[in-house]
Structure 1
Amino acid sequence: MISKIATTTALRAGARTFTTRATSGARTPSRFPLAFGAAAAVGAASLYMLPSVQLEGTPTMAGELSTTSERSFIMIKPDGVSRQLVGKIIDRFESRGYKLVAIKSVVPSADLTRQHYADLANKPFFGELLKYLTCGTPVIAMVWEGKDVIRQGRNMVGATNPAAALPGTIRGDYAVTIGRNMIHASDSFESATKEIGLWFNKQELAQYMSSGWAMTMEDN
C-alpha cells in the first residue's frame, strides 16, 4: 500500500510539471531534472515490490568451492579394480554422505593418461606409471559431490605412499607399495576442475537430490 501511494504521488507530481505552455515573463522550465526525479521516486518505490535475486558465481565442472555443490574426481586404479575392491571403496564415500554424480569404467589411452598426469611427465617413474594405467585393466572414474569433498576425499584416501597412510584410510587399509596405491583423488579445486573435464562432459554429470542430503550437508 505504501509503495502504491508513493508511486501514484510521484506520477501525479511528474504530470503537473510536464507542461509545454510557457508562462508569461518566465522561461519554460527544464523538464529533464523533474522527469529524472519522478522516475527515481517510482524506481525507489518499486524496489519494495521486486523479488529478491540470488546471484551465483560462474559454474565449473567442479561445482562451487566450499558449498554442497563442490565436486572431486576420484579414480580407482587398475590394482583396485583387479582386486575387486570397487564396491568397498564406493561404500566409504557413500557412507560418509557424499553423492555419486558420475561413474564409468574406462581403459585409459596413453594420451588421456599423459594429460591427467601432466605434472609428473618429467619424473623418472612416469614411463612405468603410463604403462600401468594403460595396461588394459580398466579404471573406475568417478565424480563425488558434497561440502568439503575435495579435502575430505584426500583424507579418506590417505598418504600417497601407503607405508605412511594411516589405518582407516583406503590406502592404509588396502595398499602396500607406492607403485600400486590403488586410488587417485583431486588435490585442489583447480585440479578437480581440470580432471573432471578430462574424463567427463557436462551431460554425464547428474543433478539430483539424494535421500537425507539436507540432514548430512546443512549446518544449523
Structure 2
Amino acid sequence: MERTLVLLKPDCVQRRLMGRIISRFEDKGLNIIAMKMIRVTQELARKHYAEHVQKAWYPSLEEFITSGPVVAMVVEGPEAIRVVRDMVGATNGLNATPGTIRGDFGCSRQMNLVHASDGPESAARELAIFFREEELCPYTPTIQSWLRAKDE
C-alpha cells in the first residue's frame, strides 16, 4: 500500500466539485484515510511549495492557494501516487486528457483543482506537512475482496 497527499484547491471548493472528485478516488478503489478542510497560510504555502518559493511566478501561486479553504486528504492504495496522478491529468486543464479530473473540469494551469504528490519522497514530505500520524485512520474496506485479487 502506498499513500499520497491530495489537496482539493480553492477553485475546487468554490466550484463545489469536492464530492464529485472525492467520488472518483473512491470509485477507483482507493481509500481516503484522513481528510480535513483547512486554510493554507502563507507559512504553510511556503513550506509545501518550498522548491518554488524563489521562482518569479510563486507569488501568484501563494495568493491562489491561500485565497480560500482547501480539502487535504491522505489517499491510500496500491501504486496510489501514480494512480492518483494519472486520474488528475496534465497540469494545464486545457492540455489534460478527457476523463481525467483536470481534463473534465479544468481550463487553467494554475487553477487546476487538485494537487497530488509527484513521487514517494514528495508524498512523504507533504503528508508530514499536512497530517500528524494520529490523524490517519487506515482501514480495510469490507469490499476489498471484490476490488483486487488476493495476490495483487
Q: Considering the TM-score relative to the shorter chain, is it more than 0.5?
A: yes
Aligned to 2:59: 127
Shift of 1:116: 0.5
- % identity of equivalent residues: 42
Residue 86 of structure 1: aligned partner: 18
Asked if 1:107 corresponds to 2:36, the answer is no
Q: CA deviation at 1:219?
A: 3.2
Give the distance between the partners of 1:171 and 1:197, measured in 2 at CA: 26
Q: Which residue of 1 aligns with 2:5?
A: 73
TM-score normalised to the size of structure 1? 0.67
Q: Does 1:171 align with 2:102?
A: yes
Q: Which residue of 2 is the match for residue 16 of structure 1?
A: none
Q: Distance in 2 between matches of 1:191 and 1:144?
A: 14
- Whichever structure has more helix as a proportion of its residues is 1
Partner of 1:21: none
**Cα separation, 2, equivalents of 1:141 and 1:126:** 21
Name 2:83's counterpart in structure 1: 152
Partner of 1:41: none
Question: Equivalents in 2 of 1:151, 1:214: separation in Å?
Answer: 22
- Unaligned regions of 5+ residues in structure 2, if any? none
For CA contacts below 8 A with separation 6 or more, give which structure has more relative contact order: 2
The residue that corresponds to 1:212 in the other structure is 143
1:181 counterpart residue number:
112
Q: Aligned partner of 1:88: which letter?
A: R
Counterpart of 1:176 in structure 2: which amino acid? C
Distance 2:52 2:144 in 1: 37
Larger radius of gyration: 1
SS at match of 2:4: strand
Q: Within 1, Cα distance between the matches of 2:50 and 2:7?
A: 16
Q: How does 1:27-38 map to 2 (within 5 A)?
A: none
Are residues 1:193 and 2:90 paired?
A: no
Structure 1: tracts of 5 or more residues without a match: 1-68
Q: Could you tell me which residue of structure 2 aligns to residue 139 of structure 1?
A: 70
* Deviation (angstroms), 1:98: 0.4
Alignment of 1:55-70 (within 5 A): 69-70=1-2
SS at match of 2:122: helix
How many angstroms apart in 2 are the aligned matches of 1:100 and 1:70? Answer: 12
Figure out how many residues of one structure are paired with residues of the other and give that number. 151
Alignment partner, residue 44 of structure 1? none
One-letter amino acid matched to 1:157: V
